[in-house]
Amino acid sequence: MLNQKNFCRTYLYDICSMLTKKQKNLLLFINKKLRASGVSPSYEEMKESLNLKSKSGIHRLISALEERGFIRRLPHKARALEVIKLPETASANDIYNSFSPSVIKGGLDQEKSNDENSEIPVLGKIAAGTPVEAIQNEVSRIPLPVNLEKNGEYFGLKVEGDSMVEAGISEGDTVIIKKTDTAENGKIVVALIDNHEAMLKRIRRKGKTIALESANRNYETKIFGPDRVKVQGILVSLYRNF
């Protein structure tokens, strides 16, 4: 049972941890920009995002977020901020750069095609959690979704694990990957680790490190040196059975 002193301390902590609507919106905007580019937004960008008339309001909001322990300013760097935590009320779409996969519903057996050139190989399984062995040989073929460009090279992979569920990717889905060895920050990619393990993650580059992020708060971000990670392709669509 809390005594009066401890109760007051807990009550004050709860009050101080609460955010106003503008504070929360600014925090989520900063988080989104950091995840997309690795760089904090400028005060001008923050002002425009909240439709404020002056930057002084942004200064006050930043100070309030810092006092409440949601962000911190990085020393010796201009406009450099780090998001330490997000409000518990934030949804998955708030926290992550929302990826809305182009989902082909109803199962692969309902997709028919007489054009062999419109089919792509399924190369085994890909982990959306614990790494598995690198991409395997072709195990089957599936139709290429009609909404995708035909001038690229694609392959499919069966998803295992739940670490990308908050990006709309579930275990059992078949993800469609466009082959490429480059990807912008924030893209969901097939990453090959040390030339023998493949995983489906969101990629971030910062300095000389590469971060592979899950879209599930129960999984930690994995950090690697640049020579350990090779991009095999980017996620463009998926099949799902219902």
Options 40, 125, 163, 178, the catalytic residue: 163
201 is catalytic: yes
Beta pairing, strands 140-143 & 119-127: antiparallel
Options 24, 178, 201, 237, the catalytic residue: 201
Query: Are 204 and 35 in contact, with CB atoms under 8 Å apart?
Result: yes
Residues annotated as part of the active site = 163, 201
